């Protein structure tokens, strides 16, 4: 499967909040994915389609039959983390990663996932 990513955009960044010794801000971001599944059999195409619809929502997934590709409008969030509000690191906020994020994010941020 070939995947192309385009149109990366960032939404309004939350005001950084100091928790402990670090600052945290949630950042929404958006991009378009084009997943070419033309080389897959029909069963796999349907499984991929069901998976992306479950992940991104029916209204954000379109199948382009002529190209054999799914076009996905992905809306996601990340958490920006900084010790000094000058240098920032980003962590992707996904429900399926929450058990791992517990190790690096405070509860107040985890509650936003």
Q: pTM of the entire structure?
A: 0.78
Q: Vertex 106, ends 73 and 86: CA angle to 5°?
A: 75
* pLDDT band at residue 113 using 50, 70 and 90 as cut-offs: confident
Q: What are 45-79's pLDDT values in tens digits? A: 999 999 999 999 999 999 999 999 999 999 999 99
């Amino acid at each position: 499967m070939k995947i192309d990513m385009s149109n990366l955009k960032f939404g309004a960044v939350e005001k950084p909040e100091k928790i402990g010794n670090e600052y945290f801000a949630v950042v929404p971001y958006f991009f378009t994915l084009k997943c070419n599944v033309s080389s897959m059999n029909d069963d796999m195409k349907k499984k991929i389609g069901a998976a992306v619809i479950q992940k991104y929502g029916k209204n954000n997934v379109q199948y382009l039959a002529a190209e054999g590709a799914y076009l996905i409008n992905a809306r996601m969030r990340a958490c920006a983390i900084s010790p000094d509000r000058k240098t920032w690191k980003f962590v992707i906020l996904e429900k399926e990663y929450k058990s791992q994020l517990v190790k690096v994010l405070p509860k107040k941020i985890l509650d936003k996932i």
